[in-house]
Amino acid sequence: MAENGDQGRHQEVGHKSLLQSDALYQYILETSVYPREPEAMKELRELTAKHPWNIMTTSADEGQFLNMLLKLINAKNTMEIGVYTGYSLLATALALPEDGKILAMDINRDNYELGLPIIEKAGVAHKIDFKEGPALPVLDQMIEDGKYHGTFDFIFVDADKDNYINYHKRLIELVKVGGVIGYDNTLWNGSVVAPPDAPMRKYVRYYRDFVLELNKALAADLRIEICMLPVGDGITLCRRVS
């Protein structure tokens, strides 16, 4: 059980890790993640670390988790909403078979193109179909087309948190029964349990209510089974059952 000191630590918004200590997180990285991180992912991680918005990148342990998950479910046809420089995209591309596909969407192509040479060098760029622009109209078009219904094995959502509920309404149609949607950042920097008057960065406070609303909606949605994992900033896996 948590002792008093621990309680204080858990109230601290912005703590890097959801684990007992930063040392334990470092242990995971050094013992399990970094020694097995593919060279291309290491290169992309180091390139991204120099970018001013590097806080947005997927962590190396989450990248390893996604790569393993995709292999476990034999994913072939996938989607990613929110690419940035492509760390989770590369983790996905490396996990898919040669004829695997990723429909990748982001409003910003420049950041994707920063990482693209590394993805190309890794020999997996042919699996990626990148679309620049907001994801929602693309999803609407796919729903309207009809032919994409129930076709995706895996969908990773890591973009504008205020649209997650809107994405879910569409993605539940596009993912196949038995397929998985992963919503990222569902613990939102620990702020989901912070008192409303706790000090928070502006963007953390702004998106907090949307994340809280999403977490409630997913728990109440009987079309999916869910599992919220404290990996990275929290990822909720949703398996479509009907």
Q: Write the DSSP string, 194-232.
A: S-TTS---HHHHHHHHHHHHHHHHHHH-TTEEEEEE-ST
Residue closest to 182 by CA, chosen among 85, 68, 34 = 68
What is the pattern of x (binds Ca ion, CB under 5 A) and - over residues 150-169?
--------x-----------
Specify the residue for token string 């509920």: 165
Minimum distance from residue 113 beta carbon to Ca ion (Å): 20
Contacted by 236, from Ca ion, ligand SAM, none: CB < 5 to 8 Å by type: none
Binding residue for ligand SAM, selected from 79, 93, 114, 135, defined by CB under 6 A:
135
Interface pick for ligand SAM out of 81, 116, 187, 231 (rule CB under 6 A): 81
* Residue 116 CA: distances (Å) to CA of 71, 83, 157: 23, 11, 20
| Count of other CB atoms within 10 angstroms of residue 59 | 19
Under rule CB under 5 A, residue 48 binds Ca ion: no
Residue 78 binds ligand SAM, judged by CB under 6 A: no
Q: Does 185 sit near Ca ion (CB under 5 A)?
A: yes
Of the candidate residues 17, 58, 92, 215, the single one contacting ligand SAM (CB under 6 A): 58
> Does 184 sit near Ca ion (CB under 5 A)?
yes
Longest dimension (CA), the chain: 56
Q: How many residues bind ligand SAM (CB under 6 A)?
A: 21
Beta bridge partners of 77: 101
Interaction of residue 209 with ligand SAM, rule CB under 6 A: no
According to the binding rule CB under 5 A, does residue 80 interact with Ca ion?
no
Tokens of 8: 């204080």
Q: In the stretch 88-127, what mask flags binding to ligand SAM with x, by CB under 6 A?
A: x----------------xxxx--x----------------
Distance CA 231, CA 143 (A): 31
Residue 5: CB minimum distance to ligand SAM, A: 32
Burial class of 161 by CB neighbour count within 10 A (0 to 12, 13 to 18, 19+): buried
Q: Is 164 in the site for ligand SAM (CB under 6 A)?
A: no
The residue among 160 and 213 lying less far from ligand SAM, judged by its C-beta, is 160
* CA 181, 81, 134, 122 torsion-angle sign: negative
Binding residues for Ca ion, rule CB under 5 A, total 3
Residues in contact with Ca ion by the rule CB under 5 A: 158, 184-185
